[in-house]
Structure 1
Amino acid sequence: MTTNLYFVRHAHSVYTPDELARPLSEKGLQDACTVAELLKKESIDLVVSSPYKRAIQTVKGISENGIELAADFRERTLSERPVPDFASAVEKVWQDERFAWAGGESNIDARARGVKKTMELLHTHAGKNIVIGTHGNIMVLIMNHFNAVYDFQFWQSLTMPDIYKLTFTGTELIEVERIGRFT
């Protein structure tokens, strides 16, 4: 029995320091409509999302039965304070998966929470098509658990939004497919 997880990295958002309430930009809202159009063709059974507004807004148009919020799909906490060079700070945690910036999560810790929730979905909703509204770094960390090819360079190639369909037999990843193209 196969289960399909559609990981959806949120669309472009308007920057605010409030991670939880940061909304999509106008372009992000337009792209969210495209995400909904693409995924409505996939016979989606369940929509799960990070509790962050931008992730919810990105997958809102897909669900006919509401969205289940899952805090474990929130973005990884990189640091307790803004970092001067975001890309370099992310690269550092990918170079040393045990390293964490002050107040932040290491790759090991963030991956563990994301994978735990992913495994829970695979067990409780086997055979279903599930959309997961999430964020780039945590999404790639989860994908990296199943295949090391999903790494820092892969993270750098992501777009906002981005959609990856992961097909599983039980808890074994058997295929990854990118859905749509965004710029």
Structure 2
Amino acid sequence: MTNLYFIRHAHSTYTPDEKGRPLSERGLNDAKRVTEVLKREDIDHIISSPYQRAIQTVQGIANHTNKQMEVVDGFKERRLAKGPVEDFTYAITKVWEDEHFSWDGGESNMEAQERGVQATYDVLKKYDGKNVVIGTHGNIMVLIINYFDKKYDFAFWKELGMPDIYKLTFERKELISVIRIIC
């Protein structure tokens, strides 16, 4: 069995700099809780999206385990549009209503899901039988889980915490279970 611990990043203060946006003070404190929770799991590898807020959320467990973090572009957040959208709620609802729809310069659900699932399959192949932390983002995380189990959908995404931890257990490429780990 391979366990993937998908970690939705902790709270960050909004800036238009998607890649460099750091955690807020609250987010930094919550990231410490994530580290404490993950200390109880026997973590073999740490992976993160290239975005600063995801890296900061899992940096503590990388430090604790003395393991180098691997940055994987496939786990970055889905690009909703070329630039900031006027009405985020409308824009995100629209892409979830039609999995093939994308805003100008953005990724459809299908495109983002394909990217995230490919990254997940790469991790499953590379780290078969291991426990792997993946620092990522809410939308791409739910799109990945949704590929394996359709009950993880837009309504589920709206209920996610920040941070949030979901442990996905796989036997090769088959999803066996999804468990939320409270932090």
TM-score by length of 2: 0.97
Q: Which amino acid aligns with 1:69?
A: V
Residue 120 of structure 2 corresponds to: 118
Q: What is the rounded CA distance, in whole Å, between the counterparts of 2:21 and 2:81 in structure 1? A: 17
Q: What is the rounded CA distance, in whole Å, between the counterparts of 1:96 and 1:113 in structure 2? A: 18
Residue 47 of structure 2 corresponds to: 48
**Which runs of 5 or more residues in structure 2 are unaligned?**
none
- What is the DSSP-based 3-state SS (H/G/I as helix, E as strand, rest coil) of the residue aligned with 2:60? coil
Q: What is the rounded CA distance, in whole Å, between the counterparts of 2:179 and 2:88 in structure 1? A: 28
Deviation string, structure 1 residues 104-138 (Cα, Å, up to 9, x no partner): 00001000000001001111110000000000000
Q: Which amino acid aligns with 1:70?
A: V
Equivalent positions of 1:56-75 (< 5 A) are 56-63=55-62, 64-75=66-77
- What is the DSSP-based 3-state SS (H/G/I as helix, E as strand, rest coil) of the residue aligned with 2:32? helix
Shift of 1:45: 0.3
Equivalent positions of 1:129-144 (< 5 A) are 129-144=131-146
Q: What is the rounded CA distance, in whole Å, between the counterparts of 2:58 and 2:11 in structure 1? A: 13
Residue 33 of structure 2 corresponds to: 34
Q: Which of 153, 156, 172 matches 1:151?
A: 153
Identity fraction in percent: 61
Question: RMSD between aligned alpha carbons?
Answer: 0.7
Shift of 1:82: 1.1
Q: What is the rounded CA distance, in whole Å, between the counterparts of 2:39 and 2:98 in structure 1? A: 39
Segments of 4+ in structure 1 off by > 3 A?
none
Q: What is the rounded CA distance, in whole Å, between the counterparts of 1:40 and 1:126 in structure 2? A: 21
Deviation string, structure 1 residues 25-78 (Cα, Å, up to 9, x no partner): 000000000000001110100000001000000000001212100011000000
Q: What is the rounded CA distance, in whole Å, between the counterparts of 1:42 and 1:74 in structure 2? A: 24
- What is the DSSP-based 3-state SS (H/G/I as helix, E as strand, rest coil) of the residue aligned with 2:61? coil
